[in-house]
Structure 1
Amino acid sequence: MRLVALIAGMVLALTGLAAAQTYDTPEALLEDFYAPYFTGEFYDDEAPFRSAALQALHDNDAEITPPGEMGAISFDPYVDGQDFDLTEFQIGTPTIVGAEAIVDVSFRNFGEPRSLTFELVNENGWKIDDVVSGNPENQYRLSEIFAAAAGN
């Protein structure tokens, strides 16, 4: 019984360490964030990747969404689609000004070219603050999707 508890504790500790990781560069953050799209092993909680402001938008959306209903996000804004089969993934060179960075990410999703712009902030490590799609068929800014759903 003690061995089971010890193993469970170690797994939880290691999982917590992975979730608490800080990112010294925008590229490191985005590489780690997108890794599950290639491995299939998604994070239980993406909050450690989000800025305080973006997390507040997620939290507010969860609070105002009726039980059993879908929140503001009805697709995966990080692949600009419902499903994914990513290839040709590239992280652009970040433009860093103080504690803010802009980074373009490009890839093909089911063979279709996609490009997203990530707005990052350094809050004791780089975090995702917003995501913008310039795809003519589906232009969006993640923060504006949440604002519209909240009636702002």
Structure 2
Amino acid sequence: MIRRIHVLAFLAALALPFAPLPVMAPPVAAAEKASDAETVIRAIYAQYSKDGWPEDAEKKNFSPSLFAKWDEVQQAADAANEVGVDFDVFLDAQDTDTVTDLTTRFTPDGADKGKVEATFTAFDSQTTVTYDMVKTDGWKIDNISWGPDRDDLRKTLAAIREDQKSGGSGGSGGDDEDAD
């Protein structure tokens, strides 16, 4: 009996260096911590890969008013067997890709509004997308901008919906090179 205990103790001592240690996150300096609004945006981009994208990101992360506009366009498109928004609004692209080199910067505008500027690499190209954020049941996206030469998401949705009402296809290609 004593021999068995010694053998077990010996084996346990041998196994100890190979036992898994608790994984601890590296310490982050206070200045490097993301604001809650930045965390929302970072969580969306973390879900991208060459074969996948965030599921229901609009429903989960848009403000109620922006999601209502989004849903109206998508419902009308579905009813007409057409395409509503035909590009990924987070990547500003037709396809999906892994997102790397993501940086975010939050600029507050009072206690319950602000902007998150997200810069990332996808499709071997650096892209910057600006998110208008509002605090409503947590931080939510209230609009998306892809640069000064493009309509923002709210204007894009309004244009698609107007096109749908007039009998057009309603699709919007995001980075439309044929636009005037």
Give the RMSD, CA atoms, in angstroms. 2.3
SS, match of residue 162 in structure 2? coil
Distance 1:135 1:74 in 2: 20
1:87–1:111: 8 Å Cα contact kept in structure 2?
Answer: no
State the one-letter code of the partner of 1:48: K
Pair 1:143 & 2:169 matched:
no
> Residue 31 of structure 2 aligns with which residue?
none
Match of 2:39 among 13, 28, 38: 28
Match of 1:113 among 108, 111, 126: 126
> Residue 6 of structure 1 aligns with which residue?
none
The runs of 5 or more residues in structure 1 that have no matched partner are 1-23
> Residue 99 of structure 2 aligns with which residue?
86
Q: Displacement of 1:76 after TM fit?
A: 0.6
Distance 2:116 2:81 in 1: 35
Q: 1:135 to 1:112 in 2, by over 3 A?
A: farther
> Residue 54 of structure 2 aligns with which residue?
42
Q: Displacement of 1:67 after TM fit?
A: 3.4
Name the stretch that deviates more: 27-36 or 89-98.
89-98
Distance 2:92 2:68 in 1: 22
Q: 1:132 to 1:29 in 2, by over 3 A?
A: same
Larger radius of gyration: 2
Q: Displacement of 1:31 after TM fit?
A: 1.6
State the one-letter code of the partner of 1:107: F
Q: 1:78 to 1:98 in 2, by over 3 A?
A: same
1:115–1:135: 8 Å Cα contact kept in structure 2?
Answer: no
Q: Displacement of 1:45 after TM fit?
A: 5.7
Distance 1:113 1:62 in 2: 29
Q: 1:27 to 1:45 in 2, by over 3 A?
A: closer
SS, match of residue 92 in structure 1? strand
SS, match of residue 42 in structure 1? coil
Distance 1:111 1:31 in 2: 19
Normalization by structure 1: what TM-score? 0.72
1:114–1:135: 8 Å Cα contact kept in structure 2?
Answer: no
As a proportion of its length, which structure holds more strand?
1
Q: 1:44 to 1:134 in 2, by over 3 A?
A: closer
| Alpha-carbon displacement from aligned partner over 1:7-35 (angstroms, at most 9, x marks no partner) | xxxxxxxxxxxxxxxxx710111121222
State the one-letter code of the partner of 1:43: E
Q: Displacement of 1:150 after TM fit?
A: 1.7
Name the stretch that deviates more: 33-42 or 50-59.
33-42
Q: Displacement of 1:41 after TM fit?
A: 6.1
The runs of 5 or more residues in structure 2 that have no matched partner are 1-34, 164-180
SS, match of residue 37 in structure 1? coil
1:130–1:141: 8 Å Cα contact kept in structure 2?
Answer: yes
Q: Displacement of 1:74 after TM fit?
A: 1.2
